[in-house]
Amino acid sequence: MRKTPAWVHALRARAIHVAGIVLPPVVMLALLGVVWEFLCSSPDATLPPPSKVVTDTWELITQPFYDNGGNDKGLFWHLLASLKRVALGYTFAATGGIALGVLIGSSKWAMRALDPLFQVLRTIPPLAWLPLSLAAFRDGQPSAIFVIFITAIWPIIINTAVGVRNIAQDYRNVAKVLRLNGAEFFTTIMLPAAAPYIFTGLRIGIGLSWLAIVAAEMLIGGVGIGFFIWDAWNSSLISDIILALVYVGIIGFLLDRLVALAGKFIGRGTVSV
Amino acid sequence: MTEYLKIEHVCKTFGKGESRSEVLRDISLDVAKGEYLAIIGHSGCGKSTLLNIVAGLTEASSGYVFLEGREVHQPGPDRAVVFQNHSLLPWLTVYDNVRLAVDKIFRGRKSTAERHDWTLRNLELVHMTHAMKKRPGEISGGMKQRVGIARALAMSPKVLLLDEPFGALDALTRAHLQEEVMKIHAELNNTVLMITHDVDEAVLLSDRIVMMTNGPAAQIGEVHRVELSRPRNRLDLIANAGYIESRARVLEFLHKKSHYVEAA
């Protein structure tokens, strides 16, 4: 009898491990698809079953890059337009949020002055800012970016401030003994120590940005996944809406993972994903 | 005895009004250059507060601390602290933790290569070069404390302040580190101020032991000079009359007299 080599065992163990992670969600997805198909296959169903969604939108799925001018573009271009807005608004929010968070986290008076204001402002729903920003900017594009900014900034400010306030006294003592100056303290102690909190804020922020952009684009029009969904609704293309929602969900998930990975990389092991 | 570190009539009270509590009352102490001084007392007697005042991390309510004739106002690398819980920065490697201190203190005075060598030299002193690429989370408690000691030594401090440096370690690791601190002290002849609550540790390592009365309002109860020649060996000392006597004096103070002075 021949002995099985060790690498075969290792490979088998690895395969079982991977299958254990991949199989459950795949099986669950298939089950849900079957239930959905079953529920929506009667003639008087208001929503299409998955099989119909795929046949209806086959053209959109296979040709994401077409461009017939105007708003008649492939889904890739709509998603790209939305991502650009999010990238811009979110960058402003991350920069401003970390700066303000550091300020109110390290200054008692800044905290007392600004915190009550922030606590009220952050409860305002993103879309409630849209009319005001349209009035201020008189243009859809900057208004949408502003809505992203104002939506994402609050959790970033608040989490950064908590992170800065929670820097262990030990680290502050080390900084004092070494006589680190403000800039040195900021880069060598404050940012890494607060990184787990900052990245929690950034992750919540990116999620909220993606939530807000879809809603904002429904109102401002132009190219963008939000507008695409609204346009599909106006043309009663329910299958298009479902396809767009799948894309929105997947991209939202990827954005979240992206920020989490950035945290893992930049936080040098202090941020758990 | 040359005057080196001088603590003069230091008092410390925390809080105001009703919640006011006096922690230290009129502490005066002279430490000679190269001397190893232990401060021992029951927990809560304010010995860590005294160390923090010398470090400059806590401000004395009244009284002064002088180092080489200059008054101490704020923390600085001339009084490097080895913290009880090591206080290494977890996002930096062992090497970078020490290098951070070296860079901060010797920038402009040493070249990059010299700073690198000096960092390695101090890691060698505590036998930690093998783990210099690791982060604090990946090494044991005893190793972390070694790195903490290396970081403090790397600052070339005038006084080394040890705040119960081995308190959180198991007995064997503690003994091992005590040996190394003795070796380093013999080699570099640092001036050391060590807080401890371990009688054996105090007798083994120190030239003098300062015994503190119980708080509140702790004072210096007795000062005992340990008349044992160096190098000292833990095993040889077990039956050494001088060692036994020193040990007995400190124990007697801690268990009997620490209250009397308070009442007086």
Confidence category of residue A269, pLDDT binned at 50, 70, 90: low
CA distance A177 to chain B (A): 5
What are the angstrom distances between the C-alpha of B209 and each of A23, A52, A167, B198, B244? 67, 87, 35, 11, 14
| Residue A264 buriedness (CB in 10 A; 0-12 / 13-18 / 19+) | middle
CA distance A59 to A230: 19
pLDDT at A248: 95
pLDDT at B67: 93
pLDDT in tens, B185-202: 988 888 999 999 899 999
Confidence category of residue A268, pLDDT binned at 50, 70, 90: low
Q: Say whether pLDDT at B18 is over 90.
A: no
Greater pLDDT, A115 or B256: A115
- CB of B101 within 8 Å of a chain A CB? The answer is yes
Structure token pair of residue B172: 């064997």
Q: Say whether pLDDT at B97 is over 60.
A: yes
Q: Which residues of A touch B77 (CB under 8 A)?
A: 177-179
Q: Say whether pLDDT at A4 is over 80.
A: no
Average pLDDT, chain A: 91
Average pLDDT of A226-250? 93
* Per-residue b or e along B84-96, where b marks 16 or more CB atoms closer than 10 Å to that residue's CB: bebbbbbbbbbbb
- CB of B79 within 8 Å of a chain A CB? The answer is yes
- Please judge whether B75 and A170 are an interchain contact, meaning their C-beta atoms are less than 8 angstroms apart: no
CA distance A212 to A149: 10
- Please judge whether B91 and A267 are an interchain contact, meaning their C-beta atoms are less than 8 angstroms apart: yes
pLDDT at A153: 96
For chain B, give the percent of residues with pLDDT over 70. Answer: 97
Select from A171, A173, A174, A177 the residue whose CB has the most chain B CBs within 10 Å, as the one to mutate to test that interface. A177
- Please judge whether B77 and A184 are an interchain contact, meaning their C-beta atoms are less than 8 angstroms apart: no
- Please judge whether A179 and B75 are an interchain contact, meaning their C-beta atoms are less than 8 angstroms apart: yes
- CB of B133 within 8 Å of a chain A CB? The answer is no
pLDDT at B159: 94
Q: Say whether pLDDT at A74 is over 70.
A: yes
pLDDT at A70: 77
Q: Which residues of A touch B150 (CB under 8 A)?
A: none
pLDDT at B260: 52
Q: At what angle do helices A75-106 and A191-220 cross, to 10 degrees?
A: 140
Alpha helices in chain A (DSSP H): 6-39, 50-62, 75-106, 108-121, 129-137, 140-165, 169-178, 182-185, 191-220, 225-234, 238-266
CB pairs under 8 A between A and B: 53
Confidence category of residue A242, pLDDT binned at 50, 70, 90: very high
Q: Which residues of A touch B74 (CB under 8 A)?
A: 176
Task: Report pTM.
Answer: 0.80
CA distance A180 to chain B (A): 7
Average pLDDT, chain B: 89
- CB of B100 within 8 Å of a chain A CB? The answer is yes
- Please judge whether B104 and A179 are an interchain contact, meaning their C-beta atoms are less than 8 angstroms apart: yes
pLDDT at A270: 59
CA distance A242 to A232: 10
Q: Which residues of A touch B108 (CB under 8 A)?
A: none
- Please judge whether A176 and B57 are an interchain contact, meaning their C-beta atoms are less than 8 angstroms apart: yes
pLDDT at B1: 47
Instruction: Using CA coordinates, name the residue in chain B closest to A270.
Output: B91
Q: Which residues of A touch B104 (CB under 8 A)?
A: 178-180, 184
Please answer whether residues B52 and B245 qualify as being in contact, where contact means their C-beta atoms are separated by less than 8 angstroms. no
- CB of A158 within 8 Å of a chain B CB? The answer is no
pLDDT at B264: 44
pLDDT in tens, B197-237: 899 999 999 999 999 988 788 889 889 998 888 888 888 88
| Residue A44 buriedness (CB in 10 A; 0-12 / 13-18 / 19+) | exposed
Q: What does the H/E/C string look like for B229-245?
A: CCCCCHHHHCCCHHHHH
From the list B74, B90, B101, the residue facing A178 with the nearest CB is B101
The total of other beta-carbon atoms located within 10 Å of residue A174's CB is 24
ipTM (interface predicted TM): 0.86
CA distance B107 to chain A (A): 12
Q: Which residues of A touch B76 (CB under 8 A)?
A: 177, 179
pLDDT in tens, A155-205: 999 999 999 999 999 999 999 999 999 899 999 999 999 999 999 999 999
pLDDT at A1: 58
